[in-house]
Amino acid sequence: MEKTFKYLPVVFLVFIGTLILSISLEVRGKSLFFSSAHAGFFDRDLELFEETVDLVAEKYVYPPNFKKLFDGAIENMVKSIEDEKLVHSKRPNFQSLTWKGRTIRFHLTYEQDENFASFVSVYNFLVDEFEGTTTKEKLELSAIRGLIETLDPYSQFMDKEVFNRSMRDTEGKYGGLGMLITMKDKKLEVVDTMRNSPAQRAGITAGDIFVSAAGKETKDIHIEDLAERLRGYPDTQVKLSLKRPADEVVRDYTLTREIIEIETVQYETLDGHVGHIRISGFSKQTDSQLADAFKQAKKDKVKGFILDLRDNPGGLLTQSVKVAGHFLLHNRLVVYTRGREKQDYYEYRADYDNSLHNAPVVALVNGNSASASEIVAGALRDVGRALILGETSYGKGSVQTIFRISDGAGLRLTTSKYYTPSGIDITEHGIIPDILVETDLGENESEEEAPDDEIYHKKKTALPGFPSLRLKEKDVEKIVIQSGGKIDRDHDPLLGLAQMALKNIVKADKKNTLEKVRELAANIIY
């Protein structure tokens, strides 16, 4: 019987000392299960490699390109030797390895079995020629990692230690520094820091870029590798260097790891009987923490809600479905996933009889809202009556399944994609808000000169019907200030605009809420 954890990348919320932009481990069923691949074609030397290839062949979301897979495996295995005299040549009809006058030729095709034979010949050549300078285990693991790197950014091989830690850390506690990180423009960047965490107390802020961690440079490393360096046992120390773009200064830190309690929900009641719910991620505690927020909102006689999903990198799929379900009619479709095969289809529906579907809601998203947060925003936009406000979201719509394989290792593999209730591919389009708030271009900038990630998000706006209204950041600030709204460290202009949109609205009505914002925008005094 096969049962699986589910990750909806990317982004996945991994509680590993650092929160990573992605979507997270999910369980289909009532308890935790793993798929186990079968191996046996080769001897035990390559059992792990064979299992990995078989899983990719059977479970990967797209039919695998075996030529590309084995080429990546061989190339990374050769690279692991680190000997300049070992020459790897690629020609149209064959490849070759040459070392000290000895040469092996091999040919890769699109057939799995033929490529296995070529791979084994290369493996044996390297084992024989470099005995004493490398190991079979090193060669095999390098080949596995090279193979997985040909797939997508979210598929990953995890050795026993990493796999066990990943499983442990999904419980909502971890030994770490308390920061959310993401990869942006090929740089590892801090998205946010958790309240009263080592990172926050040290003065690390959103936008800081990693230069080094644990004594090693962070250039060109995977986000998972950085997370591995940052997490660890409580009361142990780690040294970091981060550059702050605002002043281009590199700051050095020595931080002591702590057990981080994940507080994913923060709540406050704003003027006008509006409840502000900020969800920073989706852990096992999120829905219960949200229930506490609703209790306070009821005491404060809240009429409408601002659901703040900005900088939320994702998390547990089941938790995102529960959160969305609070604002939808019972049994409404929240999200569905679809894999390679026709039978790889699964629907997730709202499960609350006494929901708040009549309560007016404005959901806030930005370019760092990913995975599980996109599920919530997409469902509220498609089948709810919430108004979505902000930037186009990240666009992270793939599902990862974790498989336990030989020797206690694990494989996180992209196995399907997820779609909003109306069938929108989130990876392709992101969640496009009803009201798109665009970044103001500087005096000497033009749209053609915008950074790559801005261009990326502009591409994602090509969806009929969205957005209904476009505003500039400076216009949003003017609207809030001229209307007497509150802007301070904890209350930014977007939050202020959402609060005004909900003023005197007592029943969910996206059309009326949208028209109110149009009216506010039309009355800006310059």
Catalytic residues, by residue number, are: 371, 382, 396
CA proximity to 8, closest of 416, 306, 293, 322: 416
What sign has the CA pseudo-torsion 414, 415, 417, 418?
Answer: negative
Q: d(Cα 307, Cα 388) in Å, to the nearest integer? A: 9
Contacts 24+ apart (CB under 8 A), 113-118: 115/66, 115/67, 115/69, 115/70, 116/41, 116/42, 116/50, 116/53, 116/70, 118/70, 118/74
Residue 481 CA to its chain's centroid (Å): 34
> Quick one: tokens of 46?
């390559």
10 Å Cβ neighbour count for 513? 25
Find the helix or strand (DSSP H, E) in which 205 lies: none
Kindly write down the DSSP assignment for every residue of 313-357, as one continuous string.
Answer: --B-HHHHHHHHHTTS-TT-EEEEEEESSTT-EEEEE---SS--T
Read off the amino acid at residue 168. Answer: R
Find the helix or strand (DSSP H, E) in which 207 lies: none
Q: Are 410 and 402 in contact (CB under 8 A)?
A: yes
Q: What is the CA radius of gyration of the chain?
A: 25
